[in-house]
């Protein structure tokens, strides 16, 4: 079998095992939090009878192991179940009249929004960071290199909400160029959607650029001492060409890894930015669900987050292999 395909299959199998373990850990963790869905949703109005009624309706009175196994049995058949909030709502209505939506239906539009934001951010951040990294390597130790380093390090060191507010101040309040509310809807045109997504995307760009840019710079500089670069230089090739044609292809593996890690972050770590800009992504749904201990939704979100990391890491590894002839043709 082609070694690359073998690696993919192996890694996918390990990925499934990881997902399984993640689901156990999350389930246990949510159960260990004080309070449960019934108490959280009722709040101040939590009378013992009402709490007991909701627990009975949702099966929360069964022991956790049984509940986990039930969930797992459903999940293995592709059924992530109904959120507690929806199931509780259905029991209000009195019967199951088809008004209840499944976890999958609930998450799908939110996930699409998150992917859109991640996509827009990646489209801005990746080329920007790599270009900046290449230029910083080319003009290393110059004023340009220092300014690029200092500014990206400053932005990565600032909390996301602070960057968000600074951008809102300059781009929305003082110069009303972009909207500060990024509430996008299903029936919105692409142009408007893009405009509303721009501020959060710029904020996230500031957050992820430093990591990718510095890795690009370091990986390239690392290679510049290699004999074949020296050879290229001795041939009289221009510095820019040396870096882009000779150094960059060999530095791709670490750069791809860092990019993958940052892309995963864009899918899983944008809760704060979503809250500040009121962006209806998966992060807000996740936080809301943890708050009310809505285990089916929390589980589904965590599985998506874990899967994003697993798949992006796998992609990164495969691309590293493909970019490296030694790994592509092992002896």
Partner 1 sequence: MTRISRRGLLTTGAAAGVLAASGLPLRAQAKRGGRLRAALSGANTSDSWDARTHSDLFMIASAQGSVFDNLTEVGADGTLKGELATSWEATPDAKTWTFNLRQGVTFHNGKAFGADDVIASLQMHVAEGAKSAAKPIIESITEMKKITDHQVQFTLEAGNADFPYLLSDYHLLIYPAGQIEEAIAKGIGTGLYKVQSFEPGVRMVATRVDSHYKDGDAGFFDEIEYIAVNDNTARMNALLTGQVDAINRIDLKTESLLKANPMVRIQEVSCNQQYTFPMLTDVAPFNDVNVRRALKFAINRQEMVDKILLGHGRVGNDTPIGPANQYFAADMEQNSYDPDKAKFYLKEAGLSSLDIDLSASSAAFEGAVDAAQLYQASAKSAGININVVQEPADGYWSNVWLKKPFCACYWSGRATEDWMFSSAYEEGVPWNDTQWGREDSERFQDLLVEARAELDPTKRREMYTEMQQILRTDGGVVLPMFANYVQAVSNKIANPEKVGNLWQMDNARMAERWWTA
Distance in angstroms (rounded) separating the CA atoms of residues 218 and 267: 26
Name the minimum Å distance from CB 174 to partner 1.
Answer: 10
Residue with smaller CB distance to partner 1, 248 or 292: 292
Name the minimum Å distance from CB 204 to partner 1.
Answer: 16
Q: Contact positions toward partner 1, by CB under 8 A?
A: 33-35, 39-47, 50-51, 53-54, 57, 83, 85-86, 88-89, 91-94, 97, 99, 106, 165, 168, 172-173, 176, 179-181, 183, 185-187, 275-278, 280, 284-285, 288-289, 292, 294
Residue with smaller CB distance to partner 1, 51 or 304: 51
Distances in Å between the Cα of 235 and the Cα atoms of 18, 139, 232, 301 are 50, 20, 5, 54
Sign of CA dihedral 235, 241, 244, 249: negative
Name the minimum Å distance from CB 29 to partner 1.
Answer: 13
Residue with smaller CB distance to partner 1, 27 or 277: 277
Two structure tokens written together for 142: 């110059």
Name the minimum Å distance from CB 198 to partner 1.
Answer: 14
Among the residues of the chain, which ranges form H helices? 3-32, 37-42, 48-58, 64-76, 84-93, 103-138, 143-157, 160-168, 190-223, 227-234, 239-241, 248-268, 271-277, 282-291, 295-323, 325-328
Residue with smaller CB distance to partner 1, 138 or 285: 285
Distance in angstroms (rounded) separating the CA atoms of residues 276 and 270: 10
Name the minimum Å distance from CB 69 to partner 1.
Answer: 26
Question: Exposed/middle/buried for 35, CB within 10 Å: 0-12, 13-18, 19+?
Answer: exposed
Residue with smaller CB distance to partner 1, 57 or 145: 57
Name the minimum Å distance from CB 184 to partner 1.
Answer: 9
Residue with smaller CB distance to partner 1, 168 or 314: 168
């Amino acid at each position: 079998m082609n070694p690359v395909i073998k690696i993919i299959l192996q890694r996918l199998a390990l990925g499934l095992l990881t997902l399984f373990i993640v689901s156990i850990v999350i389930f246990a963790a949510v159960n260990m939090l004080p309070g449960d869905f019934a108490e959280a949703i009722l709040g101040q109005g939590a009378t013992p009878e009402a709490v007991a009624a909701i627990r009975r309706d949702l099966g929360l009175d069964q022991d956790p192991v049984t509940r986990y196994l039930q969930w797992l049995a459903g999940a293995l058949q592709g059924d992530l179940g109904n959120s507690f909030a929806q199931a509780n709502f259905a029991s209000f209505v009195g019967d199951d009249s088809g008004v209840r939506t499944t976890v999958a239906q609930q998450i799908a539009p939110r996930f699409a929004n998150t992917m859109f934001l991640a996509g827009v951010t990646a489209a801005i951040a990746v080329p920007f960071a790599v270009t900046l990294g290449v230029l910083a390597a080319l003009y290393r130790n110059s004023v340009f290199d220092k300014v690029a380093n200092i500014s990206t390090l400053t932005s990565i060191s600032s909390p996301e909400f602070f960057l968000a507010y600074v951008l809102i101040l300059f781009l929305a309040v003082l110069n009303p160029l972009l909207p500060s509310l990024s509430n996008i809807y299903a029936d919105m045109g692409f142009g408007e959607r893009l405009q509303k997504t721009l501020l959060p995307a710029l904020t996230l760009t500031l957050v992820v650029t430093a990591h990718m840019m510095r890795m690009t710079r370091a990986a390239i500089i690392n290679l510049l001492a290699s004999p074949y670069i020296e050879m290229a230089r001795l041939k009289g090739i221009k510095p820019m060409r040396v870096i882009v044609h000779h150094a960059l292809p060999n530095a791709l593996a670490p750069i791809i890894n860092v990019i993958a890690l940052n892309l995963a972050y864009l899918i899983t770590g944008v809760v704060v930015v979503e809250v500040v800009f009121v962006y209806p992504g998966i992060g807000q749904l996740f936080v809301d669900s943890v708050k009310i201990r809505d285990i089916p939704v929390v589980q589904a979100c965590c599985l998506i987050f874990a899967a994003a990391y697993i798949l992006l890491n796998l992609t990164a590894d495969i691309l590293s292999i493909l970019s490296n002839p030694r790994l592509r043709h092992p002896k």
